[in-house]
Homo-oligomer: A and B are copies of this chain.
Amino acid sequence: MKQITQRSKCPVSFSLDFLGDKWSLLIIRDIMVYDKFTYGDFLQSDEKISTNILADRLAALEQNGFITRRVSAEKKNKIIYELTEKSADLVPIIMEYNIWGAKYNPDGEQALIEELKKDKQKMIEKYQDKIRRNLGALS
């Protein structure tokens, strides 16, 4: 797994040192909005990440405090990945990517933009609440 080296003190640069690649934010999105929690779930996402990259990103995200890893209580060969508070604070970034992407994708749904822009704060709180509720649960 790659070791992160801080390039500058700029907060944007600092963020991208952790998240500036094509996959990390998509894994977080999977947990955040699509309720995916397992290695197999992530593999099935439309973007088709390869197995070794997924393993590497999961390890890095865990090491850097974005996700937690635990063995399922029911099935001991199943691993559950969940978001931390550090990732809950990424919800606004994901929402803004959603808005921008929906606007500039030729096949983008204009309806999604309108809804997101109109109820942005409500949507952000919705996803953050979901993450924080999970944080408290034992399951």
In the complex, how many residues of chain A place their beta carbon closer than 8 angstroms to a beta carbon of chain B? 41
Q: Is A99 an interface residue (CB 8 A)?
A: yes
**Do the beta carbons of B97 and A7 come within 8 Å of each other?**
no
Give complex CA distance A29, B100 in Å.
16
CB proximity of A14 to chain B, nearest CB, Å: 4
Contact residues, A1-26 vs B (CB, 8 A)? 7-17, 20-23, 25-26
Contact with B along A28-65 (1 / 0, CB 8 A): 01000000000000000111100000000000000000
Provide a sorted-by-A list of 26 A–B residue pairs whose CB atoms are within 8 angstroms.
A7-B46, A9-B46, A9-B107, A10-B47, A11-B101, A11-B112, A12-B25, A12-B26, A12-B94, A12-B97, A12-B98, A13-B47, A13-B101, A14-B101, A14-B105, A16-B22, A16-B97, A17-B22, A20-B20, A20-B23, A21-B21, A86-B104, A90-B100, A93-B96, A93-B97, A96-B96
